Homo-oligomer: A and B are copies of this chain.
Amino acid sequence: MKRPTILVLGAGYGGLTTVVNLQKLVGADDADIILVNKNDYHYESTWLHEASAGTLRPDQVRYDVKDVINSSKVKFVQATVDAIDVNTKKIATSAGEFTYDYLVIGLGFEGETFGITGLDKYALSIANVNAARQIRDHIEYQFATWSTEEVRDDARLTIVVGGAGFSGIEFLGELGNRIPELCKEYDVPKEKVRVVCVEAAPMVLPGFDPALVEYAVRQLESKGIEFSIGTPVVEATPEGVNIKKGEDEFEFIKAGTVVWAAGVRGNRLIESSGIENMRARVKVEKDMRAPGFPDVFIVGDCALMINEEVNRPYPPTAQIAMQQAVTIAKNIVALIKGNETEEFVPALKGTVCSLGEHDAIGDVMGKKITGTKASIMKKVIDNRALYMIGGVPLLLKKGKFTL
């Protein structure tokens, strides 16, 4: 009998955790495991706010895929996936066509601009490690240019962050720490810099405990960050953003940097894959398979699962992606052996939102925590992700140990 081919698309939290679990469960002769990823590295998408603000270097937020896979069991292909067709079982990539017996789609999120004019062109997005690096360099270039120009345009020093959700707030937390450093490095008076968070919804961090949210806003405001809440961005231009402040009231914020951190969606390849989806996310079966395609699993940001307790989707977090991956690896092995698959049951350990290196808010095992305690917990969570994928060696190499 021919060995089955397990094809995993994407080396994010979901895809990579699937592979490292498969390589433990499957013998080298039992299956061909192929991992396809655009880059030869994995990056910590939950750390990108730090790389974007410049508080971590890009190389600190990524590691080589080959450092965590067992190359005697897994074939790694560095390629971009161009198209997925689950009806013909054909996957088109920049390194040629692949087919599979079992497919795992872990292609991650894309930014969602909600059709707002100019955003895709004039706003930067914390989308991946390259984009994060560009945001850092863009801000630094604005500061450098301000320092040299004869007629100084203070708007160069204005940073608009669109979105007061998880990504926006974590990025603002890093900026709050980074701005004073930048001012020193570039000889810029602190009072010239303006950081404005613009949010369409009437609240910051929806879903978080209101007392924790209040703490977060107070801490960020104490670092000089301004909030404009309930004021949607209606347009981005090369000069800044136009926001809607009332029925017929608009305000233009001139800004050298606009970072869009509001809303993510699934990978667009899902939409033409033949799988039923909603904005590129697939409402998966209880065992993580795509409805109607018993040989296709979806992991991470492209998977949509409803938390029935609150009747809302689970948030697309690294924590859940990695838990899903463990179940998916087991279920593939079960299918190969002709056994029953098991149901995925998320174990929600809590959520911590960073507010910069030494501050955070968190809801962990039902306990509300703030400040240093929450910040330590955040690092524990970050380190746990490293440990789950690469064990102690990766943890020692890439872990966050400054508390």
Contacts and interface: CB of A to CB of B under 8 A. Distances in A.
A134 B144 contact: yes
For chain A, the bracket of interface size reads 20 to 34
A133 B59 CA distance: 22
A43 to B, nearest CB: 11
Interface stretch (A135-143, A200-208, A277-285, A295-303): A135-143
Contacts of A264: none
B185 A59 contact: yes
A136 B141 CA distance: 9
A311 to B, nearest CB: 38
Contacts of A138: 141, 144
A153 interface: no
Contacts of A148: 128, 130-131, 133-134
Contacts of A186: 130, 133
A267 interface: no
Nearest to A142: B137
A140 to B, nearest CB: 5
A63 to B, nearest CB: 14
A134 B141 contact: yes
Contacts of A130: 144, 147-148, 186-187
Contacts of A390: none
Contact of A133 (B39, B134, B147): B147
A145 interface: yes
A58 interface: yes
Contacts of A59: 185
A185 B58 CA distance: 8
Nearest to A39: B187
Contact of A137 (B128, B133, B134, B141): B141
Contacts of A143: 137
Contacts of A136: 144
A289 to B, nearest CB: 32
Nearest to A40: B187
A185 B136 CA distance: 13
Interface string A119-132: 00000000010110
A340 B138 CA distance: 57
Contacts of A187: 39, 130
Nearest to A140: B137
B144 A137 contact: yes
Nearest to A41: B187
A37 to B, nearest CB: 13
A172 B327 CA distance: 55
A19 B141 CA distance: 35
A137 B182 CA distance: 13
Interface string A170-189: 00000000000000011100
Contacts of A131: 148
Interface string A4-40: 0000000000000000000000000000000000010
A357 to B, nearest CB: 21
Given A39-B187, A131-B148, A138-B141, 9 more contacts: A59-B185, A130-B147, A130-B148, A130-B187, A134-B145, A134-B147, A136-B144, A137-B143, A140-B140
A-B pairs with lowest CB-CB distance, top 9: A134-B144, A130-B147, A137-B141, A137-B144, A130-B148, A141-B141, A133-B144, A137-B140, A134-B148
17 contacts: A39-B187, A59-B185, A130-B144, A130-B147, A130-B148, A131-B148, A133-B144, A134-B141, A134-B145, A134-B147, A134-B148, A137-B137, A137-B140, A137-B143, A137-B145, A140-B140, A141-B141
